[in-house]
């Protein structure tokens, strides 16, 4: 299952404004630290292939239209959807992949920790019958642990009371005991825009990847992509630091 660049038809454009508002609200995520004893016993880690982010968004949650009640909110939501579509079209044109650089960064970080790392391109957890969680029981690897890394969202956010856009990257990482499928480590990394997510690891993005407006962002798309990939590397480095022996 090799990661592929984005497709306008296969990427969710407009799980946009409603999903965005939900993400910006205060929610809670699991937070499991790896114990020193668990890490000490691990030598081999299999990383599953990382799928492309389900949503690429450029969102302004403090736009002027939002000050005019429900109608203004709908107008701002429509503008956000149009901006997201334009940004995604630029990603498609450039054949951008976010999954591949994240996978490379995770592999590198784990190898620096001294782990023997392999990548499995053929397996991925299935959804449980109720569709509310993941079923890992069918995963089988010849390693001590399985690392599943996936995106929550990737894009740029203009925070309240501002016109500038900053990177907005959410990455989740779950490390399972390969035999028992029990959690060894489970983190959510919010890189760049600081979200109201309880238990998430908030990490700052490099301030050079800040754009003064949507037009400025689109005028520097290649730099904007670099900013998002840099955020991936920041999350991967933190992951490696958490699991260092």
Q: What is the pLDDT of residues 104-132, one digit of tens each?
A: 999 999 999 999 999 999 999 999 988 88
pTM summary value: 0.86
- Tell the CATH superfamily of the 27-243 domain: Lipoprotein like domain (3.30.160.150)
Q: How far apart are CA 224 and CA 160, in angstroms?
A: 20
| pLDDT, tens digit (0-9, with 9 covering 90-100), for 157-200 | 998 888 899 999 999 999 999 999 999 999 999 999 998 889 99
| Domain residue ranges in the chain | 27-243
Mean pLDDT, residues 14-33: 62
């Amino acid at each position: 299952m090799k990661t592929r660049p984005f497709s306008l038809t296969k990427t969710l454009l407009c799980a946009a404004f409603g999903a965005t508002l939900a993400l910006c609200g205060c929610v809670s995520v699991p937070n499991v630290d790896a114990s020193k004893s668990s890490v000490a016993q691990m030598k081999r880690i299999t990383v599953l292939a990382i799928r492309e982010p389900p949503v690429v968004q450029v969102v302004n949650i403090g736009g002027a239209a939002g000050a005019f009640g429900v109608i203004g909110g709908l107008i701002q939501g429509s503008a956000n959807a149009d901006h997201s579509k334009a940004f995604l079209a630029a990603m498609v044109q450039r054949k951008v992949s976010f999954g591949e650089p994240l996978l490379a960064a995770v592999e590198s970080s784990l190898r620096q920790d001294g782990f023997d790392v392999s990548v499995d391109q053929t397996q991925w957890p299935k959804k449980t019958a109720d569709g509310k969680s993941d079923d890992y029981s069918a995963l089988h690897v010849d390693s001590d642990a399985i690392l599943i890394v996936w995106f929550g969202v990737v894009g740029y956010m203009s925070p309240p009371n501002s016109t500038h856009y900053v990177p907005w990257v959410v990455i989740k990482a779950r490390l399972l005991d390969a035999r028992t499928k029990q959690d060894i480590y489970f983190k959510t990394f919010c890189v760049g825009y600081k979200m109201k997510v309880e238990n998430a690891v908030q990490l700052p993005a490099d301030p050079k990847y800040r754009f003064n407006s949507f037009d400025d962002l689109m005028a520097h798309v290649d730099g904007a992509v670099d900013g998002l990939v840099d955020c991936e590397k920041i999350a991967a480095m933190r992951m490696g630091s958490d699991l260092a022996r």
